[in-house]
Amino acid sequence: MATKHDWTKEEILEIYNKPLMELLYEAATIHRQNHDPNTVQVSTLLSIKTGGCPEDCGYCPQAARYHTDLEGNDLMSVNQVKAQALRAKAAGSSRVCMGAAWRNVKDGEEFDDVLEMVRTINKLEMEVCCTLGMLTENQAQRLAEAGLYAYNHNLDTSEDYYKEVISTRGFDDRLKTIDNVRKTNVTVCSGGIIGMGESAEDRAGMLVALSTLNPQPESVPINALVPVEGTPMEEQEPVSIWEMVRMVATARIVMPETQVRLSAGRTQMSREGQAMCFFAGANSIFAGDKLLTTPNPDVNEDMEMFKALGLNPQKAFEKKEQPKSVDAEHSQFQNLGEKPKWSRPGHKIERNLQAQEKRKTKA
């Protein structure tokens, strides 16, 4: 059946609000038609540059303006990244996602280092993903040429609710970056977070934005907010497992071929809850004791869960063939020294400002 790209919010809400057993049955059926239900991809998320971010994302402990206990780090070296990737591979990961707390990519030495990290991991026969902030077309091409498999750029929430979470960049800039990635052969990873105070309509709105992209993202992470002390969302109530299952199942139904990734918030879920998410169509997880900066289940715990559920880790490049890495000296794309103007809407978000004020009083 051809993939539908004209989902409306009403249609998606209707799916999200179905009686749970019906929703699960429908999602599991679509899942089986498009994926092996006993295979789950295991990815490792590596924070290659932590903290000190100029953005004001209300959920994020890496934003410099909030007072959290986070220890920041400058960009890791290529060798450090290689060592961690080898460790992840030995523990069963087929994909490494490198995250840097940047607003956007800047041409220069640090980006050149990231390109080298991409080449290095690709040569280890692992899928390489990066999440580095906003990106121009030329930068996307350079990453593609280095052998990048996927680029992550989350929409986070609906366009309407985005204005309640972030004031330092616009939703359109996110879409523009995704579009720049789409001009290359790099796959798109884009999803969001639930539990930030948004409504079911906002959740549906986010799924509209993702599912109406053509092609749809190859990977969609669904995160449950992990409230971190010092951030504007520190007091947010955790989402229930039912909301998570509904979100996963709905994402599966509206994006049948996508890898739906169970991301942050797994430590708050029981194994039974996670099993229900896998049944509902989640087929990817992040392994490792940290998800950038928030806690994540231990690798051994995950492997025990896989054993109990009869799940197998997905092999690298099962969905798409391995890209070739072009060495820096043979690159066809120049460092353009671009200074793109990404927007700064600059509206006021009360809880973000309060968290910022608190930081000043603590400092």
Peptide bond into 54 cis (omega under 30): no
Asked whether 129 and 43 are in contact (CB, 8 A), the reply is yes
Q: Which is nearer to ligand SF4, 196 or 241 (CB)?
A: 196
Angle among Cα 100, 104, 107 to the nearest 5 degrees reads 95
CB of 51 to ligand SF4, least distance (A): 8
> DSSP letters along 116-148, please?
HHHHHHHHTT-EEEEE-SB--HHHHHHHHHHT-
Residue 101 binds to ligand SF4 (criterion: CB under 6 A): yes
Nearest to 75 by CA among 50, 94, 95: 50
CB of 122 to ligand SF4, least distance (A): 24
Number of residues that bind ligand SF4 (CB under 6 A): 8
- What amino acid positions are annotated as catalytic residues? 53, 57, 60, 97, 129, 189, 261
Asked whether 103 and 134 are in contact (CB, 8 A), the reply is yes
- Report the amino acid identity of residue 291: L
Say how many Å lie between the first and final Cα of the chain, rounded.
58
Q: Which is nearer to ligand SF4, 141 or 177 (CB)?
A: 177
CB of 160 to ligand SF4, least distance (A): 19
Asked whether 12 and 207 are in contact (CB, 8 A), the reply is yes
- Residue from 63, 134, 140, 146 touching ligand SF4 (CB under 6 A): that is 63
Question: Helix 241-254 to helix 20-34 angle, to the nearest 10 degrees?
Answer: 40
Contact pattern for ligand SF4 over residues 124 through 153, marking x by CB under 6 A: ---------x--------------------
Which residues 199-218 are close enough to bind ligand SF4 by CB under 6 A? none
CB of 334 to ligand SF4, least distance (A): 27
Q: Which is nearer to ligand SF4, 241 or 355 (CB)?
A: 355
Residue 62 binds to ligand SF4 (criterion: CB under 6 A): yes
- Catalog residues that contact ligand SF4 under the rule CB under 6 A: 53, 55, 57, 60, 62-63, 101, 133
Residues making up the annotated binding site for [2Fe-2S] cluster are: 97, 129, 189, 261
